Amino acid sequence: MAPIKSNILESIGNTSILQLHAVVPSNGVRVLLKIETTNPTASMKDRMALAMITAAENDGRLKPGGSVVEYTGGSTGVSLALICAVKGYPLHIVTSDAFSKEKLDHMRLLGAILTVIPSDNGKQTEKLTKDMIREARAIAEKTGAFITAQMDNTDQLSAYTKLADEIYEQTEGQIDAFVQGVGSGACLRGTSERLRQLDSKIRFVAVEPAESAVLAGGVSGSHNIDGMGPGYVTPMWKDGIADDFQGVSTADARAMAFRLAREEGLFCGLSTGANVTAALRVAETLKPGSTVVTIMCDSGMKYMSGYSKQLSSM
């Protein structure tokens, strides 16, 4: 039996990994999915949010009685709201109506104050991302709050080192490719740096919205995949992180999310749909017996209002 935990933050990490059995490539390559939905807010971002707050506490940037501010499409904000609620820090989130109502409501329920920046017809764009960043920085300067600044904050990389160690142990080192969507770029950067230390032969594939595939040299555009594709190359990104790039459209990501629910019983968001779409493409290029690993980033429960609209038209 697992010991009694002192608070919910001790439940972050050590998530399961499973092999897909219905949504599979034609050549028999194994596709594994790291189930990050078992984190407390049903998101992989619990890991990085805890790492950023803990590092700031340890070096004095965030002092007792201090407050926190962040710009976010939602998942990072929900994770920060959980952690700040447990630790007693007031949290101010800058977000947008481009992101799911469920995420915004979840942040509010956990005690965060929200500033909501209007979007262009519900689309995520480079301008929206930079408007949110500008507003969050202004709030931090005015109030003296600590800004976690996820697009720049390297403290989060330690969380993804641990994620990489979990994946390597769970697969017994049998990994040929790791596929992950890019928002800030921290997850793929931190995970790849650690996995490359363990096995230099693993290939790393960055996933981004096909409508805004800027890392692959495309034009910045608008899309509806929460948590991916800020529309520009972020400060966290470095050349050499990815060996290849996959662009996945919003429509294809949504179709895969629905397929995962119906064929695998996995209820996920569009970022996971994009990850699995890309993972299957990568798997088709590998020899039988190979293994591709990707991540189930968060739960489809965070997107129910948007999914309901789609289902009603089907």
For the chain, the structural domain boundaries read 8-37+163-312, 45-147
Please classify residue 8 by burial: count the beta carbons closer than 10 Å to its beta carbon, then call 0-12 exposed, 13-18 middle and 19+ buried: middle
Confidence at residue 305, expressed as pLDDT on a 0 to 100 scale:
82
Give residue-wise pLDDT tens across range 233-271.
Answer: 999 999 999 999 999 999 999 999 999 999 999 999 999
Torsions phi, psi for 159 (to 5 deg):
-65, -35
Q: Which residues does 121 contact at the CB level (< 8 Å), separation at least 6?
A: none
Low-confidence ranges of the chain (pLDDT < 70): 309-314
Q: For 174-192, what is each residue's pLDDT tens digit?
A: 999 999 999 999 999 999 9
> What sections of 97-125 are H helices per DSSP?
101-109
Q: Residue type for 236, please?
A: M
* Predicted local confidence at residue 313, as pLDDT: 61
Tokens 């800020």 — which residue?
Answer: 230
Query: Is 45-147 the same fold as 8-37+163-312?
Result: yes
Both tokens of residue 238?
Answer: 């470095």
Is domain 8-37+163-312 classified as CATH 3.40.50.1100? Answer: yes
Reference 271, options 304, 298, 243; nearest CA is 298
- Model-level pTM? 0.94
pLDDT of residue 2: 76
Q: What is the DSSP letter of 88?
A: T
- May I ask the CATH architecture of the domain 45-147? 3-Layer(aba) Sandwich (3.40)
Count the neighbouring beta carbons within 10 Å of the beta carbon of residue 2. 6
Judge contact between 285 and 189, C-beta under 8 A. no
Per-residue pLDDT at 272: 97
